[in-house]
Amino acid sequence: MLLSRKKSENLNQTKWEELDERALSAIQLCLANTVLQEVLMES
């Protein structure tokens, strides 16, 4: 899956940065959950 960082014309820079941070947080939470599951399965 290829993601692009092209923003919509109707978003200002502040809103774009907020959405970018939220997307990053969602990815990090998903990865943290996956890592936790892997650690628990090893024990």
pLDDT tops 50 at residue 43: yes
- Regarding pTM above 0.75, the answer is no
Q: Do residues 24 and 33 lie in contact, with contact meaning Cβ atoms separated by under 8 Å? A: no
- Tokens encoding 5: 């960082």
Q: Do residues 16 and 7 lie in contact, with contact meaning Cβ atoms separated by under 8 Å? A: yes
- Tokens encoding 15: 């809103």
Write the pLDDT tens digit of every residue in 18-42.
998 999 999 999 999 889 888 889 8
pLDDT tops 70 at residue 2: no
